[in-house]
Homo-oligomer: A and B are copies of this chain.
Amino acid sequence: MNIKTLCLGILSFGDASGYEIKKQLEGPFRHFYDASFGSIYPALGKLTGENLVDCTELAQQGRPDKKVYSITPKGRLDLVQQLLERPSQDRIRSDFLVIMLFAELLPAAHIDELVGQRIEDYRSSLDELCSQGKDDTASAAFVHGFGCAVYGAALRYLEDNRHRIVGESLRAQAEVAE
């Protein structure tokens, strides 16, 4: 999923400026994808060049003109085409899991702290996702629910298995000390 398609999709919900798109990407769905200004602005420029979006400049006092983008009919067609393509496999990107794989090389106390932090992270992400229950659309609710299900499972797993990895790590280090 590239930024261009993402911007096009967001614009299919309504007109927005680059800045506003970024704000939307900082909402609850930031857990699934995000983008920086450095990618959004060039993406909007390219989309405009391809006539997939229109740009209206609004003069503002003391600020750069606000550029409001609207998706064009051609843009809607293109979006649908992009969305019909086979999605790539879902994947978990986790530095944490890589570190865990090499846990035996690290102090047990450090591992314990890491797991504790990750538990906190998942708990707060989950709280945030679950707390704002009502969604604009059924689609958003579906994606939302998916996030809650997965984060909840990760959280429960970490809580239930924390002792295992830390215990094992301590034991391995006791052996080395002998």
Selected from B97, B110, B121, the residue in CB contact (under 8 A) with A143 is B97
- Contact of B79 with A105 in the complex, beta carbons under 8 Å: yes
A58 within 8 A of B: no
Selected from B95, B156, B158, B168, the residue in CB contact (under 8 A) with A1 is B95
Residues of B within 8 A of A101 (CB): 9, 29, 139-140, 143
What is the CB-to-nearest-CB distance from A93 to chain B, in angstroms, rounded to a whole number?
5
A133 to B118, alpha carbons, bound, how many Å?
Answer: 25
* A91-122 to B contact mask, C-beta < 8 Å, 1/0: 11111111111111110001000100010011
Residues of B within 8 A of A139 (CB): 100-104, 165, 168
- Contact of B94 with A93 in the complex, beta carbons under 8 Å: no
A37 within 8 A of B: no
A99 to B143, alpha carbons, bound, how many Å?
Answer: 10
